[in-house]
Structure formats: C-alpha cells, structure tokens
Amino acid sequence: MGKFDNKIVLITGGASGMGKSMSELFVEEGAYVIAADINKELLDVVSQHDSIEGKMLNVMSEEDWKKTVDEIIADHGRIDILINNAGIATEKEMDETTIEDWDLMMRINGFGPFAGMKHVLPNMVEQKSGAVVNISSYTAMVGLGVNTYTASKGAVRSISRAASTAYGRFGIRVNTVFPGVIETPMTANLSESSEVLQRLIMATPLQRLGQADDVARAVLFLASDDAAYITGAELVIDGGFSAQ
Ligand SMILES: NC(=O)c1ccc[n+]([C@@H]2O[C@H](COP(=O)([O-])OP(=O)(O)OC[C@H]3O[C@@H](n4cnc5c(N)ncnc54)[C@H](O)[C@@H]3O)[C@@H](O)[C@H]2O)c1
C-alpha cells in the first residue's frame, strides 16, 4: 500500500528539478502523476514511466490551464492534489529591471499558481476534498533579493494563505513550502562558481545545499493524510538559513 494509491496528482514544472523529484516520489507511493511543463524534451523523459503522464502547459496561459484541467477531469474524473511548482528565476537587481521583466516574472511565478488554484479548486470543492502545495522561496521570508523573483514569491505566500482560509470549509488544504538554495538546473550556474557556493554552504547551519528530494519529501508530507489537520502552513526547507 502506498500513501497515494489511486490519487491523481497534477505537478506544474513536473519535468525538471524538484518537480521531477516530486513526480517520481509520488509514483513510488502509488499515485498517478500528470507532470505539466513547457519543456517537451524533458517531459518526454519523465513520462517514460507508466504512471507519469506528460502534458504541455504554459502556466502563464489561462487557456492552457482550462484545457489541461478539462482534459484531466475528462480522463481521470478528479484531481486530488495540485502542486504549483513551475517557476523561473532572475539575477537582475532592481535598477536593471524593466516593466517587461516584472510582467513576465509575475505572470509565471505569480499568476501561474493563482490560475492553477482558480481552475483546480472548483473541482476539489465538488469532490469535497483536495490538497494544494504551492512552492514559494525563502526569499519571501528574509530580506534577500530586491528583485522580481522575491516579489513573485511573496505573492505566492499571500495567495496561499488566503486560499487556505477560504477553502478549508470544503475539506481542501492549501500549504506552502519555502525552499532555500536547492541544487537543480535553476541554480546550476551557482554550482559552477565554487567561491559563492562555499560562502552559501558556510552560511547554512546544516552546512550543505539542499537537494531536490529534500523539498519533494516535505511536499509529499503536506499533500498526504499525515498532514490532515495542516492548512495555511508555511514550511521553510533551507537547512536553517532563515532561522539566523
Ligand atoms: N532551486 C532553488 O534553489 C529554488 C529555491 C526556492 C524556490 N525554488 C522554486 O522551486 C520551483 C522549482 O524550481 P527548480 O529549482 O526545480 O527549477 P527547474 O528550472 O529545474 O524547474 C522548473 C520547471 O518549471 C518549468 N517552467 C518554467 N516556466 C514554465 C511555464 N511558463 N509553464 C510551465 N512550466 C514552466 C521549467 O520548464 C522547468 O521544468 C520554482 O518555482 C522555483 O522558483 C527553487
């Protein structure tokens, strides 16, 4: 018996990094996963597994969201778990940021999870059950990164809390995780620069960078029945960095 037997799980950005790790761990625990992403090549790889279906979805597009959710409901009848994980990052600081940079970041990292909840929650309301886990970032918790990324992850934090209070009465839980620096393709440029890397590791109480599985395991916990009385929670997964 797996913890997620017969569960239908939708994971955005499910083809790479933490999303890929979540896709694989959910399947190990018995779930059927729809990994939704814009990267066709990576989707083809992750969906080689029998219980992982790859779907092209651009989280910026409301049309795409509607089509994706309609197709999953038609094929599987329900969505038990939604993981809003797709995102992009930037190195650009405030003085270099254009309005186009702001719009793109907010559209992917902010509107993406918002639109995901907008289209999936009505189905969960009908089912009278469901769990959502949104992926924010430790930058939304600490004073780091005066840029569009931090702003977009702050938006994820607020909208998650609001959704948890609005949808609790329907048996739906909404929680958020705040990863620190995790070794994934998103941070690959960091790994190449050993000086920055060493400084980061020394500044982290657990003295290492995070791995995709560190975040994925926490996400699985929040999505599972083990967290049945947990909603509106904010779980930091950063090796202790933000506790300082
Ligand atoms: N890696 C870190 O250090 C770190 C830290 C805190 C938070 N996060 C967040 O965790 C999440 C996963 O990041 P990761 O590190 O695994 O990165 P990643 O780059 O490995 O994966 C991100 C995935 O999102 C997909 N994606 C990007 N734009 C999309 C769009 N418009 N529509 C659909 N899919 C899209 C990409 O194709 C990719 O598969 C992101 O939201 C990121 O902001 C990452």
Tell me the CA distances in angstroms from 32 to 167, 212, 221, 234, one per residue in order. Answer: 24, 20, 17, 26
Cα(188) to centroid(ligand 1), Å: 12
Q: Is the CB of 39 under 6 A from ligand 1?
A: yes
Which of 10, 12, 18 should be mutated for ligand 1, with most atoms under 8 A from CB? 18
Each of the 244 residues of the chain gets a pLDDT tens digit; together they read 899 999 999 999 999 999 999 999 999 999 999 999 999 999 999 999 999 999 999 999 999 999 999 999 999 999 999 999 999 999 999 999 999 999 999 999 999 999 999 999 999 999 999 999 999 999 999 998 999 999 999 999 999 999 999 999 999 999 999 999 999 999 998 877 788 889 999 999 999 999 999 999 999 999 999 999 999 999 999 999 999 9
Options 138, 149, 167, 229, the catalytic residue: 149
| Confidence at residue 83, expressed as pLDDT on a 0 to 100 scale | 99
Q: Is the CB of 18 under 6 A from ligand 1?
A: yes
- Concerning whether 149 is annotated as a catalytic residue, the answer is yes
| Confidence at residue 90, expressed as pLDDT on a 0 to 100 scale | 96
| Confidence at residue 219, expressed as pLDDT on a 0 to 100 scale | 99
Residue whose token pair is 């918790």: 141
| 120-156 residues labelled b (16+ CB within 10 A) or e (exposed) | bbebbeeeeebbbbbbbbbbbbbeebebbbbbbbbbb
| Confidence at residue 197, expressed as pLDDT on a 0 to 100 scale | 87
CATH architecture of 8-181+211-243: 3-Layer(aba) Sandwich (3.40)
Cross-strand partners of 178: 236
Q: Is the CB of 61 under 6 A from ligand 1?
A: no
pLDDT tens column, 105-136: 999 999 999 999 999 999 999 999 999 999 99
- Residue 242, helix vs strand vs coil: helix
| Confidence at residue 26, expressed as pLDDT on a 0 to 100 scale | 98
| Confidence at residue 38, expressed as pLDDT on a 0 to 100 scale | 98
The domains of the chain are located at 8-181+211-243
| Confidence at residue 213, expressed as pLDDT on a 0 to 100 scale | 98
